[in-house]
Amino acid sequence: MKHLSAKPLAMASLMMIACSADPRAESVEPIAESVNINVNPATLAEATESVAGIERLMRLRTDDPRAHEALGKLLPRLDELNHLVARVEARPGHVVSFYESEPGVIGIVEAAPAGSKRVLSPSDMQEALVPLYERLSGGKKAPASLVQAEARVLVGSELTGAELAPGPVSTQKESLSKAGAEEVGSTTQALTEGDGQWFRDNGCFKTGDYRACLPNRWGNTWFDYNTRTSFMTLAPFNAPSPITVNLKYNGAQRFVYPVFQGEWINFSWYSGLGSCGFFACVRNLVIANHHWDLFEADGKGYHWSVAAKWNCNATTCKEWP
């Protein structure tokens, strides 16, 4: 098993030159376009712009060395801005990352090759962070950053969640369904055993207070729910450049993640644990707003499923649906 950690970078902006063809005539020479990619963004908003600049280069040429150089320098900085607290390669090609997007608010992301079996089982997600990491790492001791993050989870959140009603906030009409129901989205190409149909059978969520199964999806989209936990799985199949995943938690941007064709990325995010004040109570995760966006997806195809859980306790809310 490999233990992976992010290393801080202090890099200046890179000046990139992209070529774009005039769509009116194929014979016209490519036009040089200056693209300023900031590989040391100060905020997640700036990081989103950096990923968009890389995406523009790769949309023109997937293997553009300038785009890949900038991406290599940007990813460690993204880990810092996303508040990565631990990462482990549980088996070859399967990397599990733990994030603390704000004190006590945890996200777990599993990255794997498309079509492969998940390392994390539904019951694994109920396990405490430190023992989960140490089991995935083959017994290696969890880093102090993860131990401290788990301690902050137990401290809990000052929010009670009483001010938010669970359910949809602003989700695209075609993605909406009633609580506990499943919607299978319409497709723009025939489902096949190798992609759309396989994903519907093996990748789409089966439970949850809300869930949507959307194989063979195209274009930008979003998913916006007041919930205790949210889940998303994404597998681009026609994307020469990255699709950007963006999470806002209670209105604040907390996570940016580029996903590439050939990858299958699973996202799980947990609201903070509610506090009890001076009175005894059964603590649960608070109801918070989880707003997920997929950016830079115009003209790209991907398989996508989302879910949210709020009628659950602090343990069952975390179980992969």
- CB pairs under 8 A, 24+ apart, for 129-137? 129/86, 129/98, 129/153, 133/86, 133/88, 133/98, 136/1, 136/88, 136/90, 136/96, 137/1, 137/3, 137/88, 137/90
Half-sphere exposure in the Cβ direction for 206 (13 Å, CA): 7
Provide the pLDDT for residue 171.
55
Provide the pLDDT for residue 65.
93
Provide the pLDDT for residue 36.
82
Q: Mean pLDDT per segment of 10 residues, for the chain of length 321 residues? A: 43 35 32 72 97 95 94 97 97 94 95 86 88 95 96 73 70 46 40 66 92 93 95 93 97 96 94 73 88 96 95 92 90
Provide the pLDDT for residue 20.
31
User: How far from the centroid of its chain's Cα atoms is residue 120's Cα?
Assistant: 15
Provide the pLDDT for residue 274.
84
Do the Cβ atoms of 44 and 256 come closer than 8 Å?
Answer: yes
pTM of the shown model: 0.82
Provide the pLDDT for residue 154.
85
Provide the pLDDT for residue 58.
95
